[in-house]
């Protein structure tokens, strides 16, 4: 099921992550988030109450999860990558100067999450924006830790907006530098994963040839 939301500029009410368990606070070292200069993972526990009033997580909550995680993702640029511009990265999450406005979000729901559960939300650039672009696209994955699979995937269209000038503006140079480094790391990670998949497929094929796919092999249909 896909759902499109058109959201007007508004003040953001962010969800605060609950203290996750040790298992969630330390992803496995092979997880891609460990190899990124800018962490993209936002953990949170699903709460009993308004979030799950009808027994499952309200669809609107997925949008709030994505929004709060996006703010955390942007702030991480100033914390882990570009400390000299930490104030400007933080300002992007406000309406004081240059900020971000969610132009649209598309949510593809995979299955209904229920309480209790814990989630991890991951953001990544859909593509590298151009120097004169006033917007950028993000892919979002909301992972259910109890099911160990995505509960939803989102596509966000973000506009860079100058609140003082009252109009959209091009992605700022300091943002482009951060995005460029993140994009390069995403591409390296993609190549690593593709190579690993190919290695696994080759290993499986080798096992097949050594067993049932070898010359003269006969399938065991079992006894009667």
Beta-carbon contacts of 57 under 8 Å, excluding residues fewer than 6 positions away, are 46, 51, 112, 113, 114, 115, 117, 151
pLDDT level of residue 48 (50, 70, 90 thresholds): confident
CB atoms within 10 A of CB 157: 15
pLDDT score at 14: 41
pLDDT score at 151: 96
Q: Taking 70 as the threshold, does the pLDDT of residue 218 lie above it?
A: no
In degrees, rounded to 5, the angle at the alpha carbon of residue 35 between the alpha carbons of residues 34 and 40 is 65
Instruction: DSSP letter for 220, please.
Output: -
Parse the chain into domains and list their residue ranges: 2-208
Distance CA 94, CA 90 (A): 7
pLDDT per residue over 192-202, tens digit each?
989 999 999 99
pLDDT per residue over 141-156, tens digit each?
999 999 999 999 999 9
pLDDT score at 46: 83
Distance CA 219, CA 206 (A): 18
Q: Which CATH architecture has domain 2-208?
A: Roll (3.10)
CB atoms within 10 A of CB 121: 26
> Which strand (E) or helix (H) includes residue 33?
none
pLDDT level of residue 115 (50, 70, 90 thresholds): confident
Which residues pair with residue 152 across a beta bridge? 109, 142
> Beta 2-5 vs 135-144: how paired, if at all?
unpaired
Distance CA 197, CA 150 (A): 20
CB atoms within 10 A of CB 130: 11
Six token digits for residue 215: 């010359």
Contact 137, 40 (CB under 8 A): no
CB atoms within 10 A of CB 153: 18
């Amino acid at each position: 099921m896909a759902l499109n939301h058109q959201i007007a500029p508004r003040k953001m009410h962010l969800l605060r992550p609950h203290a996750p368990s040790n298992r969630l606070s330390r992803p496995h070292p092979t997880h891609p988030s460990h190899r990124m200069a800018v962490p993209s993972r936002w953990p949170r526990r699903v709460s009993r109450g308004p979030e799950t009033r009808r027994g499952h997580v309200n669809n609107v909550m997925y949008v709030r999860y994505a929004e709060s995680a996006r703010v955390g993702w942007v702030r991480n640029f100033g914390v882990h990558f570009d400390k000299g511009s930490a104030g400007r990265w933080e300002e992007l999450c406000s309406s004081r100067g240059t900020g971000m406005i969610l132009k649209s979000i598309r949510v593809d729901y995979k299955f209904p999450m229920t309480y209790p559960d814990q989630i991890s939300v991951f953001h990544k650039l859909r593509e590298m924006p151009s120097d004169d672009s006033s917007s950028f696209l993000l892919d979002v994955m909301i992972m259910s830790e109890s099911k160990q699979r995505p509960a939803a995937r989102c596509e966000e269209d973000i506009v860079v907006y100058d609140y003082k000038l009252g109009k959209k503006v091009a992605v700022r140079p300091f943002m482009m530098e951060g995005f460029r480094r993140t994009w390069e790391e995403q591409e390296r990670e993609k190549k690593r994963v593709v190579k690993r998949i190919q290695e696994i497929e080759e290993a499986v094929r080798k096992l097949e040839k050594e067993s049932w796919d070898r010359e003269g092999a006969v399938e065991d249909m079992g006894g009667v």
